[in-house]
Structure 1
Amino acid sequence: MSTATTSKEKVAQVILPSELLAHWQGHRTLTRKVIEAFPDKDFFEFSIGGMRPFSKMVDELLSIAGPGIQEIVTGKAVAFTEEVAHGNSKTKVLELWDKTTEDINANWSKIGVEKFHDTIKLFGEYEGTILSSIQYFIDNEIHHRGQGYVYLRSLGIEPPMFYDRTEA
């Protein structure tokens, strides 16, 4: 399925940037609840079927969201790395999660609505529009959060309700 527009198409705005941000931050709120639901040891060590521990998936999310938005705003490419300095402390991971949320909020208004269809090469590697990059950030988070749900259920822990995106 191609979602590309042609030069002959008129672009009608279906969602406002502020609504897209609220949508993404709702997902981030839910993912934070999933992180909180893990026992500390299992967050860093538990895995199923050769998949990474959930902490490694969260490292990836942290490595994409904040640096990705920063790059979108500044235009300065940074190399992608999944190394996150948290010292295997879930408390530190949550602090980094909250800091990333603040960074996203602080930078969001710097992305003009006219820029969302501009083509970029994120992390110097991944070409797409600003919008498609942000959609990837959200989709990737949903994907990994789903893996976190499977882990929690296999540990006998009831995960947060998938639709509860309200602040705790």
Structure 2
Amino acid sequence: MIMSKKDYFEMMEGNRRLTLRAIEAFPEDKFFVYTPDEKLRPFSEMIKEIVNIESGYMHGVALDKWEYKDVFEGANKKEEFLQISQEVRDQTRKLFEEMNEERLNVVMQDPFFGPEMSHFARLQYALENEIHHRGQGFTYLRLLGIEPPEFYVR
């Protein structure tokens, strides 16, 4: 069975709700600085990547305006990260609704990362990236002695 556009978006929404709960679980003083190893980034930096990719891809796919920018510029509080993440997702909801399957099947070189792929594959990459970094955030929480949000609650 092939997933519909609506079903795919519901999967994206469920994953985002879980990611937001992971952000909420972080203590303010750890969200921006904690890493278990000097080679790793704080969870706040991973959230920037997740949401900046979402914003760049959604505007690119929907409006053909390809710009990768930091939507968190100047934000330095966890609450600001939650708010900005929600604002970007609100934009995503509107843009995704307007996209048709023909647009999602357009294949072109990725303006941010290079390889040629369909717009739908781009959005799949963004979701996989979110899942990957959220998993890192869950590990960070456990290392801090904090129980991460229930994975099955979306």
Structure with greater helix percent:
2
After the TM superposition, which segments of 4 or more aligned residues of structure 1 sit over 6 Å from their partners?
A: none
Alignment of 1:1-168 (within 5 A): 14-49=2-37, 50-78=39-67, 80-82=68-70, 84-123=72-111, 125-126=113-114, 127-165=116-154
> CA contact under 8 A between 1:86 and 1:93: conserved in structure 2?
no
> CA contact under 8 A between 1:118 and 1:129: conserved in structure 2?
yes
2:109 partner SS: strand
Q: CA RMSD, aligned part only? A: 1.6
2:15 partner SS: helix
Residues 44-92 of structure 1, C-alpha deviation per residue, up to 9 Å, x if partnerless?
00001221000000010111002210110111222x3457224311110
Cα distance in 1 between the residues matched to 2:112 and 2:40:
27
Mind listing any 5+ residue stretches in structure 1 that lack a counterpart? 1-12
Given the two structures, how large is their TM-score scaled by the length of structure 1? Answer: 0.85
Mind listing any 5+ residue stretches in structure 2 that lack a counterpart? none
Cα distance in 2 between the residues matched to 1:104 and 1:52:
26
Task: Give 1:91's aligned amino acid.
Answer: E
Question: Per the alignment, do residues 124 and 146 of structure 1 end up closer, same or farther by CA in structure 2, a change over 3 Å counting?
Answer: closer
Given the two structures, how large is their TM-score scaled by the length of structure 2? Answer: 0.92
Cα distance in 2 between the residues matched to 1:38 and 1:125:
30
Bigger Rg over Cα: 1
Question: Identity of paired residues, percent?
Answer: 31
Cα distance in 1 between the residues matched to 2:13 and 2:111:
22
> CA contact under 8 A between 2:61 and 2:119: conserved in structure 1?
yes
